Structure 1
Amino acid sequence: MAHRQFPDFPVNERQDVEALLTQVGLTSQEFEISDVNGTSSRQVMVRRQRTGAESVYDAGPGTTWIEEFESDLECGLFGQVSA
C-alpha cells in the first residue's frame, strides 16, 4: 500500500480542495490530508488539527470524495466554518 500526503495528490484534486476550503474560509494548512492506495481501492483521510475531527472517504475511480468532504464541512463535522 502506498501512502501519500496532500502535497503529493494530483494537481486537480489539490486545486479543488483548496478552492473548496477558500469558499468556507479555511486553508489546507488547518487539515492533515493523506491517502492510502490499496490494490483495488484508495481512501483519503482528512483530519482538522484544531478540532481533531476526522473522516475517511472512498476515493477510487468514479467516486466524489471532495463532494463528500464538502458536505461534511457544511454540516459542521469539522467544526464551524465562516461560509
Structure 2
Amino acid sequence: MKLIEPDEKHDFHAVLSAQNLAADDFELHEVDTTDPKTDEIFALTGFVTVSRKSTGRKQQYPTGDGSIWVAEFERDLSQGVFD
C-alpha cells in the first residue's frame, strides 16, 4: 500500500519547482510500518526518506494519515538540510 498520496507528491514537486530544483535530483523511499495484525480499522503509518542525489543528503519524515511531511521537507530545504 502506498503511503504517499498523489496530492502529497504533487505538493512535493511544487516545492521543488518553487525553489528551482530539479525533481530528478530527489528520490522518495517509503516504508510502511502499519501493523496489519490489528482487528481495528487502522491508520496508515510509516516514514518517507527524501534523498538528494547531487549532495547525498537524506532526511526521514513520518508519513501516513494526517502527516505533514511535505511541509517539514520544505522547512528543511529552506534551512539547507539538503545542501
TM-score of the superposition, structure 2-length normalised?
0.79
Give the match's secondary structure for 1:73: helix
> Identity over aligned residues, as a percent?
34
1:51 paired to 2:55: yes
Aligned to 1:61: 65
Deviation at residue 9 of structure 1 after TM alignment:
4.1
Deviates more, 1:26-35 or 1:43-52: 26-35
TM-score normalised by length of structure 1: 0.79
Query: 1:59 aligns to what SS in structure 2?
Result: strand
Poorly superposed stretches of 4+, deviation over 6 Å: none
CA deviation digits over 1:29-53, x for unaligned, max 9? 1011110111252100001001011
Matched, 1:30 2:34: no
Larger Rg: 2
Count of residues in Structure 1 that have an aligned counterpart in Structure 2: 74
Structure 1 unmatched ranges of 5 or more = none
Aligned-pair CA distance for 1:58: 0.2
Shift in Å at residue 13 of structure 1?
1.4
